[in-house]
Amino acid sequence: MKPIAITIASGKGGTGKSLLTVSLAVCAKEAGYRVAMMDLEPQSSVHLWWKLRGKPDNPQAIDAATVSPVEEAAILRREFDCLLIDTSPLGIDRIEEAVIAGDATIIPVRASVFDAAAVRAVVDICKKHRRPFAFVVMDYDAGWRRLNETMASLLSKMGTLLPARTSHRQAYPAALNQGKSAGEHPDSRQRREATAELMAIWEAARALAESSNGRR
């Protein structure tokens, strides 16, 4: 199994980057990967989640806020099958390093024109370094039909918009606060629906990274 690295990035805070990072880490572990989460955020959200989870070996959190993402990723690829790189929206240079370190970039966005506008810098970086990227809508609410249509139109003009997404449901923040993924929520319906959403995103992200990985 050739190691893959997936960068989670956005030019704006509050889009769900850390939530997506830890959720995909759990999906990757369940799929049989040895997973490391590189935490580039100064507030160390992923590291906090990992501590709440009990500091497991898989997925494992790596505090990379003060090191080179490219160099750290090269080291971690020797030990892990899957790297998930959680970025901070502050510091475009650090985002660029993280994009270079990854095989592909997933850009989470919420249904907001501000979120749509904030992705342009990340898109430009991905194109500059020839890294494949895709958008994923977080906290989707079917009731916001007009806004959803506007977002889909804006994002599709800039790149690939994944059909997979996370819905507006209580399971996501509730699980995060307990060091879990929404796919591990105690309510069976919430767990089942969240698992389906997250696994669909994981499969799309994995395929995107593998398609790039084979060309590097």
Q: What is the mean pLDDT of the chain?
A: 91
The band of 215, judged by pLDDT with boundaries at 50, 70 and 90, is low
Q: Which amino acid is at 62?
A: I
The band of 205, judged by pLDDT with boundaries at 50, 70 and 90, is very high
More confidently predicted of 209 and 41: 209
Residue 121 CB neighbours (<10 A): 17
The band of 154, judged by pLDDT with boundaries at 50, 70 and 90, is confident
Encode 61-93: b = buried (16+ Cβ within 10 Å), e = exposed. Answer: bbbbeeeebeebbeebbeebbbbbbbbbbeeee
Q: Report pLDDT digits (tens) over 119-135.
A: 899 999 999 999 999 99
Residue bearing tokens 């698992």? 195
User: Which pLDDT does position 96 carry in this prediction?
Assistant: 96
Q: Report pLDDT digits (tens) over 18-64.
A: 999 999 999 999 999 999 999 998 889 999 999 999 999 999 999 88
User: Which pLDDT does position 48 carry in this prediction?
Assistant: 95
Which residues pair with residue 160 across a beta bridge?
134
Residue 173 has phi, psi (to 5 degrees) of -70, -35
The band of 99, judged by pLDDT with boundaries at 50, 70 and 90, is very high
User: Which pLDDT does position 57 carry in this prediction?
Assistant: 96
60: left (phi over 0), alpha (psi -120 to 50) or beta: beta
Share of the chain above pLDDT 70, in %: 98
Q: Spell out the residues 6+ positions from residue 19 whose beta carbon is closer than 8 angstroms to its own.
A: 138, 166, 172, 173, 176
**pLDDT exceeds cutoff 60 at 138:** yes
Residue bearing tokens 């390093």? 97
Q: DSSP string of 20-40?
A: HHHHHHHHHHHTT--EEEEE-
Q: What is the pTM of this model?
A: 0.93
User: Which pLDDT does position 37 carry in this prediction?
Assistant: 97
User: Which pLDDT does position 213 carry in this prediction?
Assistant: 66
**pLDDT exceeds cutoff 90 at 111:** no
User: Which pLDDT does position 216 carry in this prediction?
Assistant: 52
- Write the CATH number of the domain with boundaries 4-213: 3.40.50.300
Whole-number Å distance between alpha carbons of 201 and 207? 10
Average the pLDDT over each of 46-50, 185-189, 193-197 and give the range with the smallest value: 185-189
